[in-house]
Structure 1
């Protein structure tokens, strides 16, 4: 099985691209021989996998909470509907015995964190919860160097899939060397089995870059991010609202290119996650 987050549906993409993306990703995972499990809290119930009607409902839900470790149980206790971030999805996946999770990009250390202390709970979750997370690196709006330094400090294996340089979400390169490299799903499954055999806790991060023809060059993305950050500061955007604000602003600045690349990287990560899940089941 492959876990899928739901924040990308409620906060990461507009309607109707969000439901089209979600359906397409689930179908792609099934085509690779695995079973998708989109994770969400619906009316206080933690759901591991959704029907098509429920997926449609979620994609049109306004005001859904954005759930992480701190408020996942709160939504359940108060009967709320909320979508799961990387951290909350990892928690729910582990509870359900799912060990492979595909997402777009992880959260991390935000720019200016030395004064704001804005650091995603995703990093702590990767250090404590035993799930393989397949992504296109950390979100490019973050301080990537600090994000990967924190993961190194916490002992989280960061693996470049077929590359020696970590990707930066929409771009194949980040200027940061990949600490580890593996080239096949079978190698990743074997690595995780070895970690479990010697009792190592925590997750593993697989950084899977976009194909060269689909990536957006770093310089262009950097210009969009700087403009979006200035706009966020001017608007007084803080906390959990920062990431969806920046992604929406970058979508506008890019003329939709960022969304197209986002959809493709989620599809690519889901495909790889399904192959890792199958390899792990066959090991």
Structure 2
């Protein structure tokens, strides 16, 4: 179900930016999460685009939420975390859930929304050779024509393995204003990218070229680093992440429990600095995504 505003914008080819809801329900503490959700939507509007926050409410996938629906996602107990594999189950069960990157990208593409802003992508997890743990984000992006503006992948993951996997899957990756792949909390993950784009118009040109070439329906990842002044201190990040990984192993935490544990550990042991860097990255990505969507909708 598209909100009236989003439906009209898509129908008249006005710029629209998809926003995930997992950061609202599961990534930020209450009560500030609802305020951030409204702030991100307002940032899209200030750039002249229409925000389309995506979630499933009472079994209905919704592209574009009103204020009451955003409040539900932010404050209602029992809101599930939905990847794209969960969507049919949630719809059939009449469940409510916040959408991850993969579910948001899929629903946005189905609704005709081409540009999506998020914080960091999922990717290949550390110790992949043992756990075979890889985010569903990657395979979904390999078969979904959408442009994702992100701050790279979460730095708790195996970044070089994730870049290799994206290459294997045929997902285009370009740094925005940089030849380095960002590391979510960090401006530079320590790894290069092969392509650099410098303006929203250049990104839009790549999107048009994707369509003109008739290439497989894969995504374009625009890796937009958080500003150096707003990143998490790299030395603090390295030290706390090493401690977090050691603690995680000592407690026998495995599988899906690893990522939330590591992210929470970083927040608590950096006195909230990692959360502030996360929000700075998301805000910057949202603004850039709105500018890209505007350039994309220009003839």
When the two structures are superposed, what TM-score results if normalisation uses the length of structure 2?
0.92
Whether contact under 8 Å (1:133, 1:206) holds in the other structure is yes
Counterpart Cα distance in 2 of 1:62 and 1:230: 32
**1:223-274, Cα deviation, whole Å (9 max, x unpaired):** 2222222333344433333322221111101101111111111000000000
Q: 1:270 aligns with which of 274, 281, 286?
A: 286
Root-mean-square deviation (Å): 1.2
Q: Which residue of 1 aligns with 2:221?
A: 205
Q: CA deviation at 1:182?
A: 0.4
Unmatched runs of 5 consecutive residues or more in structure 1: none
Query: Mean Cα displacement is larger for which, 209-218 or 89-98?
Result: 209-218
User: Which secondary structure does the structure 2 equivalent of 1:70 belong to?
Assistant: helix
Matched, 1:228 2:247: no
- Unmatched tracts of structure 2, length 5 or more: 1-15
> What is the aligned counterpart of 2:93 among 53, 63, 78?
78
Shift of 1:61: 2.4
Q: Deviations over 1:41-66 (max 9, x none)?
A: 11111111111111112111233221
User: Structure 1 residue 212: deviation in Å?
Assistant: 1.7
Contact 1:173 1:218 (C-alpha < 8 Å) held by counterparts: no
CA contact (8 A) 1:2 1:274 kept: yes
Query: Counterpart in 2 of 1:121?
Result: 136
* Contact residue 65 and residue 82 of structure 1 kept, 8 A: yes
> Residue in 1 aligned with 2:60?
45
Q: Which residue of 1 aligns with 2:181?
A: 166
State how 1:5-20 maps to structure 2 within 5 Å.
Answer: 5-20=20-35
> Counterparts of 1:1-283 in structure 2 under 5 Å?
1-200=16-215, 201-283=217-299
Whole-angstrom distance in 1 between the partners of 2:79 and 2:166:
29
- Normalised to the residue count of structure 1, the TM-score between the two structures is 0.97
Deviations 1:110-139 (A, max 9, x none): 111110011001011111000000000000
Aligned residues: 283
Aligned partner of residue 186 in structure 2, secondary structure: coil
Deviation at 1:25, TM superposition (A): 0.5
Once the two structures are superposed, residues 130-174 of structure 1 have per-residue CA deviations (whole angstroms, 9 ceiling, x without a partner) of 000000000011000000000011111111000011110011111
The worse-fitting range, judged by mean Cα deviation, of 110-119 and 65-74 is 65-74
Instruction: From the superposition, tell whether residues 29 and 253 of structure 1 become closer, same or farther in structure 2 (CA, over 3 Å).
Output: same
8 Å Cα contact 1:157-1:180 kept in structure 2: no
Q: Provide the C-alpha distance between the structure 1 equivalents of 2:249 and 2:23, rounded to a whole number of angstroms.
A: 23
Residues 42 and 80 in structure 1, CA contact (< 8 A), matched pair in contact too: yes
